[in-house]
Amino acid sequence: MNSHSQIQDDTTVPTQQELVERAEALLPQLRERAAQAEKDRRLSDDTVEAFCAAGFHKILQPKRFGGYEMGIDTAAECIRTLATACGSSGWIANLFIIHNWQVGLFPVEAQEEYWADGPDQLCSTASFAPRSELREVDGGYRLSGHWKFSSGCDFANWFIILKPSATCLDWMLVPRSDLQIEDDWFVAGLCGTGSKDLILDDVFVPAHRSVSMQDLFMGTTPGGQAHGIPLARLPFSWPAVWGIPAALIGMASGMAGAVQQTLIGKKALFSGEAQTERVANQMKLAEVLTDIHAAELIMRHRLAELMKWGEAGGPPTPLDGLTSQRDAAYVARLMGKVANNLTLMAGATSTYLSNPIQRFQRDINSGITHVSLVWEEAAEQYGRKVWEAAAGG
């Protein structure tokens, strides 16, 4: 029996409820550390160690390499829960979960390298590199450039780099020893994510440490086929896009709770009326809580549909295939509205740095700008397909 089979046999897979309870148990310490994480511009070592001890990074990781190989719904519930205490913590937990699933889509040879030292590996990714160079050489590629937004890079053992090409956005897997981290993460929101820059200088990437965007789009990745994970039969972005909306829902829930705590016992400046007794505040609170609940329902419904489609090998129709991106972008847009309404409801005291409301607002407003959640693009693609279907196209 090889070492990887032994890892698989010895892995005890928790239930979704157990993982959510582990997340809930961490909330008090995450709240206490949120302000310091913002000042440090990264999560604390203790927080990441707690995440690993809870096993969050293993939720979507292949069982062959010591993971739990659970559903995207479990990932989303844990991410949402953690983000209620600290937006940056929810954001990073999401990426540690999703990235280990991403690695599971690479050729098995690359996965064996990644998990060679055991199942507890962490990975970060980096966005597009306008300043980059790629050369094909015998056995692989030579890669140089400057990549941005590598969230959680301080804790990563490996990095997934987008291949710099006008026509190809393949992924490439690179160990930490092959790159440098440049700290330019001085931002207004999600400060604790530590999303710094990566610099690669003539790094050799063997061919087996790459996966084609075409396979990712088609659900035909070599790792996905090797493991037989149902969700891997779908385009990667359909389930993966939901990590950030899950975190945004959690942030909005945490922000709503902070607003309620701020207004309890407080009186209106001129009338002296208790803020909790003002009809306007009662109606505003009802609206934001209903919006958050609606977002949760949309997310859970869509993830259930995706898992069903994964088992079936695809969605019922091409139009159905556009609903995941549509719903994820809509939820993000809705949480932006919630954050704005909660800020107006809380009043000027919410702007003090000692009050978590302002941090939640900034984190949500930063999160909804993510390139994967542009509402106009998702709505245009979906709306066009609706009209084509109505016209019989």
Cβ atoms < 10 Å from Cβ of 86: 32
Average pLDDT over residues 360-373: 97
- Using an 8 Å Cβ cutoff, are 191 and 367 in contact? no
Per-residue confidence (pLDDT) for residue 3, from 0 to 100: 41
Nearest one of 174, 95, 91 to 132, comparing CA atoms: 174
pLDDT, tens digit (0-9, with 9 covering 90-100), for 277-319? 999 999 999 999 999 999 999 999 999 999 999 999 999 999 9
**pLDDT band at residue 382 under the 50/70/90 scheme:** very high
Nearest one of 250, 260, 248 to 357, comparing CA atoms: 260
pLDDT, tens digit (0-9, with 9 covering 90-100), for 133-168? 888 999 999 999 999 999 999 999 999 998 766 555
Quote the pTM value.
0.95
pLDDT, tens digit (0-9, with 9 covering 90-100), for 75-85? 999 999 999 99
Give the SS3 label for residue 42: coil
**Cα gap 258→306, rounded to integer Å:** 33
Give the SS3 label for residue 285: helix
**Cα gap 274→296, rounded to integer Å:** 31
Please state, for a pLDDT cut of 70, what percent of the chain lies above it. 95
Residue 374 Cα distances to 231, 332, 369, angstroms: 23, 9, 7
**pLDDT band at residue 51 under the 50/70/90 scheme:** very high
Evaluate if residue 5 carries a pLDDT over 50.
no
| Full set of structural domains in the chain with CATH | 3-114 (1.10.540.10), 123-214 (2.40.110.10), 234-390 (1.20.140.10)
Say which residue the tokens 């604790």 belong to. 192
Residue 233 CA to its chain's centroid (Å): 20
Evaluate if residue 8 carries a pLDDT over 60.
no
Q: What angle do CA 285, 288, 289 make, to 5 degrees?
A: 80
Evaluate if residue 100 carries a pLDDT over 90.
yes
